[in-house]
Chain A
């Protein structure tokens, strides 16, 4: 399978704990995106990388959120001191070069904060 993969698929944590998610994009894609999706809503943009550079961050991305893509391949999204409002599906997508190219999404990581 050469699609976008995400791990873990599900994460249950207690409020206040830190969590980290991983995304492996399609190998030839240099762009990687993180989105958050809550029930009944469309995905909301969080941040975007081109190679290892983080080029855009949404205002939704509070100081408790940090994302990295150290070698321009896989990416991690960390949430510190989780809150119940962080419960959502976290989606990763990747795309090739160019503007307006389609993004290919992974299966997501469902986070539940108790």
Chain B
């Protein structure tokens, strides 16, 4: 069974629109960590955010914000006022008791100028 599901395969938005990328995870652990990574066309995965299971506070960093809801096992990512440079594949990942990450299949975001 997939531990991390990113149901949106591809999303296209026009520049300056807001966009939300969905992430649903599955775990039986009470302690776990969630991550978002960005993979631009150059290919290198870039770390964006880390959240532990005990911290449900939403976080905002510039145009980026994250909504963590344990009740729905979701960790969604919103980009406000999207820009062309935001075009990339975005991955959500889960870390349980071990050290490996379980990645979703990614959401490819295209921001149209």
> A22 at the A/B interface (Cβ < 8 Å)?
no
Q: Which residues of A contact B4 (CB under 8 A)?
A: 42
Cα-based distance from A95 to B43 in the complex (angstroms): 19
- Against A, the Cβ 8 Å flags (1 = close, 0 = not) of B37-51 are 100001111110010
Q: What residue of chain B has the Cβ atom nearest to residue A110's Cβ? A: B43
> B64 at the A/B interface (Cβ < 8 Å)?
no
Q: Which residues of A contact B100 (CB under 8 A)?
A: 33, 45, 48, 56, 58
A91 to chain B, nearest CB (A): 7
Q: Which residues of B contact A93 (CB under 8 A)?
A: 45
> A43 at the A/B interface (Cβ < 8 Å)?
yes
Q: Are B47 and A102 in contact (CB under 8 A)?
A: yes
- Against A, the Cβ 8 Å flags (1 = close, 0 = not) of B83-104 are 0000000010101011111111
> Do A100 and B44 contact each other (CB < 8 Å), given the known contacts A42-B105, A56-B99?
no
Q: Are B43 and A43 in contact (CB under 8 A)?
A: no
Q: Which residues of A contact B35 (CB under 8 A)?
A: 102
Q: Are A103 and B101 in contact (CB under 8 A)?
A: yes
Cα-based distance from A44 to B106 in the complex (angstroms): 12
Q: Are B99 and A91 in contact (CB under 8 A)?
A: no
> Do A42 and B99 contact each other (CB < 8 Å), given the known contacts A100-B32, A100-B33, A107-B44?
no
Q: Are B98 and A56 in contact (CB under 8 A)?
A: yes
Q: Which residues of B contact A99 (CB under 8 A)?
A: 33, 95, 97, 99
- CB contact list, A85-114 vs B, under 8 A: 89, 91, 93, 95, 99-108
Q: Are B106 and A100 in contact (CB under 8 A)?
A: no
> B27 at the A/B interface (Cβ < 8 Å)?
no
